[in-house]
């Protein structure tokens, strides 16, 4: 790669997405059944479900629809958790875990069915996901993950040696898992697509409408923005890693980590035939997790963990370049077009939380880098709950807000975690090569 090539700091998906649905800032006082705060995938999918049922619903975003992680994402649909089904059973008990496991196994198919059903044009490709091991210890934990999830019904096969090198075009891995249901989407077009369909079904969309307070007034909630307000019986907070203090304690339930990404120039046909040749997506077991997939024009999107929303903080540019060349050395002369960053909400168990801190007030945050399939699952769950589904039928348990231990200190040192994770990953690969 030409080290003098500085990619433009610009969100690739903003440049390549379908146009947004029409929306403007709220400028009057309205009453609806439900207000959804946060126009990412979670908020948009929730709004769609409610509008489809005939409920009056308004969606508000502080910026544009898809401004947050949903419009910056790698867009990979990775349809399992980092814990095995056995661990989930221990954590949640048998019946809750069973609902979660079944929903998880179907989450990718459910996402691609949604896309087909609502005719959302978002470059959706369901060609599988390769999850590769960077060390011997990681091989063992991936094997355990595969055997647990396969036994529960997921379609996962292990792939090794030359077969893996051919499937990835990378010399960096000897062992991986192929998840047949995985795939990728244009994340901003998907988010805008959900919002557009919701609007067609009657939802009101408000952009540039930061919610400044939520107050309970009897059985109603009053949601205030700088130039207007909404009164509703139900409010959903879908603000994920961009949550501030609207709901006291919510932002202490996760750590707002950063993920950074680059888009290369479109790869030549020869390179596309070598690298991820079947348009499969890939991510690995590093703490600073490397991931890659193609966009619709043959650009490779590659990412890893970052330190701040300015990509270059604490060596971010270098980490991306080094990562890309470690995995795909054949890209040494490839130009980088764009680079960007976004926030992900990471919970201690790396799974999202569903909260109901007061009757009529719901919050769902903490997708921990697994948001593409799981935000849609959560959106469907939130709308089902609002429409009357009992908690004991939902895939996610409804839990109290619980602060991450030592949250204030961890938040302060968070920018250092990306270089620290990279160092640990390098030591892993030096000390114990994957089999
Ligand atoms: C670079 C990057 C790569 C990623 N790659 C992947 C991947 O490959 N696969 C995967 O599964 N996941 C990935 N993720 C994670 C995934 O994108 C997220 O989990 C998912 O998009 C979260 O969606 P959301 O709707 O919950 O939150 P967001 O999309 O972050 O939306 C939250 C919204 O809330 C709004 N908001 C906040 N406060 C207020 C307020 N007071 N008033 C009004 N609006 C407010 C914000 O403006 C924002 O638009 C990635 C994330 C990033 C950043």
Q: Please work out whether the CB of residue 183 comes within 6 Å of at least one atom of ligand 1.
A: no
For residue 366, how far is its CA from the centre of ligand 1 (angstroms)? 10
45-66 tens-digit pLDDT: 999 999 999 999 999 999 999 9
Backbone φ and ψ for 167, nearest 5 degrees, come out as -70, -30
Contacts of 160 by beta carbon, 8 Å cutoff, 6+ apart: 174, 175, 176, 435
Q: Which residue has the higher pLDDT, 132 or 420?
A: 132
Q: State pLDDT tens for residues 221-279.
A: 999 999 999 999 999 999 999 999 999 999 999 999 999 999 999 999 999 999 999 99
Q: Report d(CA 37, CA 57) in Å as an integer.
A: 11
What is the reported pLDDT for 414?
84
- E strand or H helix at 220, and its extent? strand 220-225
> Which CATH superfamily is 8-431 part of?
FAD/NAD(P)-binding domain (3.50.50.60)
Mutate which of 369, 376, 377, 418 for ligand 1 pocket (most atoms within 8 A of beta carbon)? 369
Question: Each residue of 277-335: pLDDT tens digit?
Answer: 999 999 999 988 999 999 999 999 999 999 989 998 888 999 999 999 999 999 999 99
What per-residue confidence (pLDDT) applies to 327?
96
Q: Which atom of ligand 1 is nearest to the CA of 66?
A: 49
Whether the full predicted model's pTM is greater than 0.95, yes or no, is yes
Q: Which has the closest alpha carbon to 152: 236, 68, 230, 89?
A: 89
Tell whether ligand 1 has an atom less than 6 A from the beta carbon of residue 334: no
Q: How far is 351 from 122, CA to CA, in rounded Å? A: 25
Which atom of ligand 1 is least distant from the CA of 40? 25
Rounded distance, CA 292 to CA 404, Å? 30
Distance CA 80, CA 102 (A): 10
Alpha-carbon span 391 to 385, nearest angstrom = 7
**Span 347-396, pLDDT tens digits:** 999 999 999 999 999 999 999 999 999 999 999 999 999 999 999 999 99
Cβ of 342 less than 6 Å from ligand 1: yes
Contact criterion met (CB below 8 Å) for 213 and 246? yes
The pLDDT assigned to 380 comes to 98
- Residue 3 pLDDT class (50, 70, 90 cuts): very low
């Amino acid at each position: 790669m030409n080290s003098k090539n500085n990619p433009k700091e610009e969100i690739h998906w903003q440049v390549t997405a379908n146009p947004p649905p029409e929306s403007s800032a709220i400028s009057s006082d309205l009453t609806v059944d439900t207000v959804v705060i946060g126009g990412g995938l979670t908020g948009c999918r929730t709004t769609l479900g409610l509008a489809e049922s005939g409920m009056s619903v308004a969606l508000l975003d502080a910026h544009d629809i898809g401004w947050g992680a949903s419009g910056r994402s790698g867009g990979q649909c990775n349809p399992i958790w980092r814990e095995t089904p056995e661990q989930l059973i221990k954590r949640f008990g048998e019946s809750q875990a069973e609902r979660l496991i079944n929903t998880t196994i179907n989450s990718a198919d459910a996402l691609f069915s949604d896309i087909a059903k609502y005719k959302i044009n978002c470059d959706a490709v369901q060609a599988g996901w390769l999850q590769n091991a960077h060390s011997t210890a990681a091989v063992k934990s991936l094997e355990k993950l595969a055997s647990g999830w396969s036994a529960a019904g997921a379609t996962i096969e292990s792939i090794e040696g030359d077969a893996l090198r051919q499937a990835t075009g990378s010399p960096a891995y000897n062992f991986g898992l192929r998840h047949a249901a995985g795939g990728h989407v244009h994340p901003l077009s998907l988010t805008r697509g959900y919002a557009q369909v919701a609007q067609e079904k009657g939802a009101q969309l408000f952009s540039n409408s930061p919610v400044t307070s939520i107050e309970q007034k009897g059985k109603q909630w009053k949601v205030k923005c700088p130039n207007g307000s909404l009164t509703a019986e139900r409010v959903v907070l879908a603000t994920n890693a961009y949550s501030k203090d609207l709901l006291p304690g919510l932002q202490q339930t996760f750590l707002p980590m950063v993920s950074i990404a680059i888009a290369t120039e479109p790869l030549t046909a020869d390179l596309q035939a070598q690298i991820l040749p079947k348009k499969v997506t890939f991510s690995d077991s590093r703490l600073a997790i490397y991931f890659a997939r193609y966009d619709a024009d043959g650009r490779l999107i590659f990412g890893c963990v970052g330190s701040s929303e300015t990509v270059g903080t604490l060596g971010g540019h270098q980490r991306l370049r080094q990562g890309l060349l470690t995995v795909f050395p054949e890209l040494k002369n490839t130009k980088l077009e764009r680079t960007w960053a976004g926030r992900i909400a990471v919970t201690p168990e790396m799974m999202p939380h569903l909260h109901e801190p007061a009757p009529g007030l719901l919050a769902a945050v903490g997708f921990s880098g697994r948001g593409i399939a799981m935000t849609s699952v959560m959106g469907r769950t939130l709308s089902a709950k609002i429409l009357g589904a009992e908690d004991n039928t939902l895939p996610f348990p409804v839990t109290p807000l619980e602060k991450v231990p030592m949250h204030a200190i961890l938040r302060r040192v968070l920018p250092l975690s990306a270089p620290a994770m990279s160092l640990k990953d390098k030591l892993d690969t030096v000390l114990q090569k994957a089999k």
